[in-house]
Copies of this chain bind each other. A is one copy, B any other.
């Protein structure tokens, strides 16, 4: 019962990696938003495997179809259902998974929770599940662009293993991110990351890293204390993405080593607006956006599927050795960039609509 996200922009995803298909129902999308399958497809294509030599070579066409909620290219205000059929199913590849609990995968826990699991390719725990999120994120971005003309969201790979990028957070653009396969706008670092990933893949191993995301053009006022604070919902959104281990906003864990006198963001007037001189807050104070850039970082663990031989246990409690075969990403981060963006857009869109519901018309603040 945990497959719906959001209060007003409600995203419900469904689907296993193998089976009829995967998709999303978006309820609460305002009417008269122009949206096409092509726009959604464009975002899905960023997430798709097989885009470059550093990602898995599985062919997933991932053609989306809008089943409802859109009429002549415009939203109706009714639920938008988007489906992507599963095509590349090769259950024979997965025979052994039926009884084997792969280390640091969800095989064991799904079995423990449900007493059953779709053992073909990860089932619901597969990263393929994020197709629906990315589709919903495309719609969320459209709404945010209409509500806030300056709205812009850019996620990028900031670190892979020990390779750290240097990125000007305030000027980086999506096109800078998309210019290389690793989705790191620091070209020099990107090259190192790419080499590293290839090397790691050749060694049958995997690596993790950090994705940073910056959102611009969000006005002050979004976020609903005390539980649905903006950073709390962003944290949940990010920590619900497969393979994530940590989240930090603004100064993050670095704040723990700073003094208040240094960490506090002084207010000042700038271009006639109340602004902060620094932005350790990451654009959110007391759970509510303050009009500054919102930025946060997400930690991804190394991919659990590796070619290395590993110890594990079967469902009949036999201790065995396992080595993955088949096609796998040695590093999920490049493909996770559009997922991070999508989830951030969903959170912000939900909060933008929530704010509309408390702003009585004709009342200036």
Contact with B along A268-299 (1 / 0, CB 8 A): 11000010110011101111111100000001
A290 CB contact (under 8 Å) in B108, B221, B226: B108
- Indicate whether A232 sits within 8 Å of B236 (C-beta atoms), given known contacts A159-B256, A359-B30: yes
Q: Tell me if A310 is interfacial: C-beta within 8 Å of chain B.
A: yes
Whether A301 sits at the interface, judged by CB under 8 Å, is yes
Q: Scan A307-350; emit 1 where CB is below 8 A from any B CB, else 0.
A: 01011110001010000000000000000000000000000000
Which A residues, 10 to 48, have Cβ-Cβ distances below 8 Å to chain B?
10, 12-16, 19-23, 25, 27-28, 30-32
Q: Are B3 and A78 in contact (CB under 8 A)?
A: yes
Q: In the complex, what distance in Å separates the CA atom of A232 from the CA atom of B244?
A: 9
A230 to chain B, nearest CB (A): 9
* Among listed A53-61, A121-129, A170-178, interface-contacting one: A121-129
12 A-B pairs in the complex with CB atoms less than 8 angstroms apart: A8-B8, A13-B79, A14-B80, A28-B358, A103-B267, A208-B258, A208-B263, A239-B249, A245-B249, A246-B249, A255-B302, A266-B311
Q: Does A365 contact B (CB under 8 A)?
A: yes
CB-based nearest B residue for A243 = B255
A74 partner, pick from B79, B116, B360, beta carbons under 8 A: B116
CB distance from A290 to the nearest CB of B (A): 5
Known: A104-B285, A269-B317. 12 other contacts (CB 8 A): A2-B229, A71-B118, A78-B123, A83-B83, A112-B365, A114-B365, A115-B364, A245-B255, A246-B249, A260-B304, A260-B305, A260-B306
Q: Are B357 and A1 in contact (CB under 8 A)?
A: yes
Asked if A65 is an interface residue, CB under 8 A from chain B, the answer is yes
In angstroms, Cα B30 to Cα A21, docked, is 20
Q: A75-132: which residues lie under 8 A (CB-CB) from chain B?
A: 75-81, 83, 101, 103-106, 108-118, 123-125, 129
Q: Enumerate chain B residues within 8 angstroms of A180, measured Cβ to Cβ.
A: none
Interface assignment of A198: CB less than 8 Å from any CB of chain B: no
| Shortest Cβ distance from A273 into B: residue | B317
Residues of B within 8 A of A237 (CB): 232
- Binding site secondary structure of chain A: mixed
A77 to B221, CA, bound (A): 12
B256 touching A299, Cβ below 8 Å: yes
Contacts of A70 in B (CB 8 A): 19
Taking a contact as CB atoms under 8 Å apart, the answer to whether B359 and A356 are in contact is yes
* Residues B15 and A363 in contact, CB atoms below 8 Å apart: no
Chain B residues with CB under 8 Å of A280's CB are 104, 301
In the bound complex, what is the Cα–Cα distance between A207 and B171 (angstroms)?
A: 31
The distance in angstroms between the C-alpha atoms of A66 and B83, with both chains bound, is 12
A156 within 8 A of B: no
One of B239, B305, B365 near A229 (C-beta < 8 A) = B239
